[in-house]
Amino acid sequence: MLTEEIRLSLEKYLAENYVETSERYADYALNVDSVKESDKCFSKKESFSLEELVNEVGESFHEMLFLKIDMSGMTDVEVYKRANMDRKLFSKIRSNPAYHPRKQTVLALAIALKLDLDGTVDLLSRAEYALSPGNKGDLIVKYFIERGIYDIQTINFALYEYDLPILG
């Protein structure tokens, strides 16, 4: 259950940070010129061959996840329990490097590992996801991460109150 203080703070955070779809398109239209300018800057930089770019790819989601688990000092069991995750799903992620989990699963793992916002964004991007200002569920998770609240039950309760998919 959410405290009244957290509920009010979360409401304020969502009001300040949620971006409606039409607002995103308006922002895009206003920033087209600045995007074109950045493209010009990018094109002036040294160009790389496709092979060089492919060789520069960092760790995969699978590699990064298990590196973070090793660095955390937690066991696999501790992580999947903290992530509110089924052992079978975690086993599938562990045994199949090509497995592509759902976004909620990746977020649950980030919460379980107590990753800060940068770490969460990095892990999400390695699984080909991002946090969106137009997604209330993403903003709710971001709200709790920014405040260092890594209790998945509290986060799931907040998501549930907004009729959004829970983590894990």
Question: Tens of pLDDT along 77-90?
Answer: 999 999 999 999 99
- pLDDT of residue 92 exceeding 80, the answer is yes
- The residues, any chain, with a CB within 8 Å of residue 40's CB and separated by 6 or more, are none
Average of per-residue pLDDT across 150-159: 97
- pLDDT of residue 42 exceeding 70, the answer is no
Identify whether 14 is part of a domain: yes
Q: Supply the pLDDT for residue 2.
A: 87
The count of structural domains within the chain is 1
For residue range 96-142, list pLDDT tens digits in order.
999 999 999 999 999 999 999 999 999 999 999 999 999 999 999 99
> CA 44, CA 26: separation in Å to the nearest integer?
29
- pLDDT of residue 44 exceeding 80, the answer is no
pTM for this model (two decimals):
0.78
Q: Supply the pLDDT for residue 1.
A: 77
Identify whether 106 is part of a domain: yes
For residue 67, give both structure tokens.
């590196």
> CA 156, CA 153: separation in Å to the nearest integer?
5
Identify whether 129 is part of a domain: yes
Identify whether 166 is part of a domain: no
Which residue segment(s) compose the domain that 125 sits in? 4-19+59-161
Identify whether 51 is part of a domain: no
> CA 96, CA 34: separation in Å to the nearest integer?
42
For residue 44, give both structure tokens.
């002036």
Q: Is the dihedral angle over the CA atoms 25, 29, 30, 31 positive or is it negative? A: positive
